[in-house]
Structure 1
Amino acid sequence: MSRLIVQMQMSVDGCVSSDVPRSRWQLWDWGPDWPWTPDARARFNELFASASGILLSRPMVSEGYLDHWRRTAQQHPNDPDYAFAARIGQLPKVVVTHREPATAWPGTTVITGDFAEAVRRAKDSVDGDLICFGGAGFATALLDHGLVDELQLYINPGIAGHGAQIFSDALAADRLTLLDATSTDCGILITRWLPAAGRQSR
């Protein structure tokens, strides 16, 4: 079974989105202007270079994650900063959902059924690290079920005010172990955490 690595962008006040219209907590909105400095870009690319597969939530795929990065890869075909975009297209992708999608997604495997069991099957489907991208609800469910082997938080130097968070009350008694924390020139703090031992998947 592979390791599941959940990577999330987070505000300095602990949110992964903002309900405040004027908030500019996230340095990069995934658009064409990428304000990250070379050190932050390099670390992001390292994550994809070492991965063996990608786990996605159904809403993430339905909302155009794969199409967006496919276009980005085509726009930057030989740019090492955007190597991750091409890598997204190359890696096996697994979508976990409780129901079959209405349309097929090229290059993806869809696993349905019980959430925890479906994620374990996804982890069994690759030999190596499986990196996960999804919304707050998806990340919360993975953490609550003890399915996360490593949590990577890119803490942006902005304040969300209030918005979605990924840590539920069920985790209030847990303590995470800090594996690494690296500051970057653009102000993002890249942190890597090991979830509480009792919650790690086996």
Structure 2
Amino acid sequence: MRKLKLEVQLSIDGFAAGAEGKTDWMLWHWQPEWNWDKPLQDFHTELQTSSDTVLLGKNMASGDFYRHWQQIAGSKENPQQEFANAIINMKRFMFSRKLKKSPWKDVELLKETSKKRS
């Protein structure tokens, strides 16, 4: 059996984004600079480099998540490059009930195939 690691930022009341979808309240929200201290950077880099698969919801996969990390992975001067390369080199799966195909050629779309359990 494989291990599942969860990395998520939620507000204290359980929201992952503001009312209009903004994530500017998060510790990190896809900004060019990495404003974390070194121990936090190292922790998250180790989390990514020790993983081989990333599971994405439709909103994250359809948004700028993947495009952002592709850009960072190509920048040797960026201190986030190791972190970004880990994400770009992982297998990526996206969950959606509505989409017919993945927005990215190398992100596999997983659809619900069984009926809901009561």
TM-score (norm 1): 0.47
1:97·1:115 contact (CA, 8 Å) conserved in 2?
Answer: no
**Aligned sequence identity (%):** 23
Instruction: After superposition, give the CA deviation of every residue in 1:16-62 in whole Å (9 maximum; x if it has no partner).
Output: 4344xxxx643322211221011100000011111020001111111
Give the Å deviation of 1:81: 4.0
Structure 1 stretches of 4+ with a deviation exceeding 3 A read 13-19, 78-81, 99-104, 114-117
> How far does the alpha carbon of each residue in 1:107-130 deviate from its partner, in whole angstroms, 9 at most, with x for none?
22111125899xxxxxxxxxxxxx
Q: What is the RMSD of the two structures over their aligned residues, measured on CA atoms?
A: 3.1
Mapped partners of 1:36, 1:116: distance in 2:
43
Structure-2 separation of matches of 1:66 and 1:45:
16
* Counterpart in the other structure of 1:32: 32
Point out which structure has higher relative CO (alpha carbons under 8 A, 6+ apart). 1
In the TM superposition, what whole-angstrom CA distance separates every residue of 1:84-135 from its partner, at most 9, and x where no partner exists? 1011111100111113435541222111125899xxxxxxxxxxxxxxxxxx
**Contact 1:98 1:115 (C-alpha < 8 Å) held by counterparts:** no
Would you say 1:88 and 2:71 are equivalent positions? no
Q: Secondary structure of the equivalent of 1:95? A: strand
Aligned length: 114
* Partner Cα separation in structure 2 for residue 57 and residue 50 of structure 1: 21
More strand by share: 1
Highest CA radius of gyration, 1 or 2? 1
Distance 1:25 1:58, change over 3 A: closer
- Segments of structure 2 that go 5 or more residues without pairing to the other structure are none
Distance 1:48 1:32 in 2: 18
Instruction: Report SS of the residue matched to 2:108.
Output: strand
Gaps (5+ residues) in structure 1?
118-202
TM-score by length of 2: 0.75
